[in-house]
Chains A and B, each alone.
Chain A
Amino acid sequence: MVPVSLYLFLSVVLFSVGVVGVLTRKNAIIIFMSIELMLNAVNLSLITFSRMHGNLDGQLLVFFVMTVAAAEVAVGLAIIIAIFKKKDTVNVDEMNLMKW
C-alpha cells in the first residue's frame, strides 16, 4: 500500500499548479484548463479520503464533480468562443471595458 499522505501530497501539488496557472496565465483557455486541473486535484483527494475512511461518499461526490466540470466546459467554451468572435482575442488582460 502506498501511504495516504503521498496521494494527498500529489493532490496538493496538482491543486497548487492549477492555482498558479489561473493567477499567472493570460490566455482564457489556459486559465480554464488550470481550473480543470484544480478540480481533478480535488477528485484525487476525495478518492483518497474515501478509501481512507472506507465509505463511498467521497467517490460519489467525484461523479458529481466530473459532471459539473463537463457542464462548465460547455458553458465556458461557449462564452470564450463568443468573445473570440467579437474581439478576436482571448487574452484576459484585454478584457478591460469596465474599470473603476
Chain B
Amino acid sequence: MLIDYLPLLIVFLAAVGFSVFNWGLSHLVGPSNPDSKKLEVYESGVTPDSDARLKFSIKFYIISMIFIIFDIEIVFMYPWATVFKDFLIKTGSHFIFFEMATFVLILLVGYYYAWKKGALEWE
C-alpha cells in the first residue's frame, strides 16, 4: 500500500521544513544591509568574472555524445556479469564469454571509428 512510503514522505517533509525554517529565520532576525560585494554571486570564494550562462565549446557536445553511447552499454554488461559465474558452473561452457567478447568487439569498431574521425582529439 501507499502507506509503506510514509517514511519517505516524512524525510521529504523534514528536509523541506528544515531548509525553509532556517532560511525564514535568518530572513526574519538577521540584519540586512546589502552592498555590491555582498550581492555578488557566491562562487566558492573566487571572484566571478563572467556570466553564468556562458557558451560551451562544441567539443564538449561531441565528448558527451560519445560518453552517452559508450556509457549506456553497461546496462547489458551488468546482468551479464551477475549470471557469468553461475553459467560457467552449470553449463561448463564458455559460450557466455564469447558472447560478450562479440559485443565488446562491436563497441570497439565504433570506438575505432570515433578515434579515427578525430572525435577524441581536443585540438
Query: Do A and B contact each other directly (Cβ–Cβ < 8 Å)?
Result: yes
Contacts of A71 in B (CB 8 A): 69
Whether A77 touches B75, Cβ cut-off 8 Å, given contacts A2-B1, A2-B2, is: no
User: B68–A1 contact, CB under 8 A?
Assistant: no
For residue B6, CB closer than 8 A to chain A, the reply is: no
Contacts of A77 in B (CB 8 A): 61, 65
CB contacts between A and B, total, < 8 Å = 31
User: B75–A63 contact, CB under 8 A?
Assistant: yes
Whether A73 touches B5, Cβ cut-off 8 Å, given contacts A63-B75, A66-B75, A67-B76, is: no
Question: Interface size for chain B: under 10, 10 to 19, 20 to 34, or 35 or more residues?
Answer: 10 to 19
How far apart are the CA atoms of A51 and B40 in the complex, in Å?
51
Residues of B participating in the A interface, judged by any CB pair closer than 8 Å: 1-2, 4-5, 58, 61, 65, 68-69, 71-73, 75-76, 79
Residues of A participating in the B interface, judged by any CB pair closer than 8 Å: 1-2, 6, 63, 66-67, 70-71, 73-74, 77-78, 81
Q: Which 8 A-B pairs have the closest CB atoms?
A: A70-B72, A74-B65, A63-B75, A70-B68, A67-B72, A74-B69, A73-B68, A2-B2
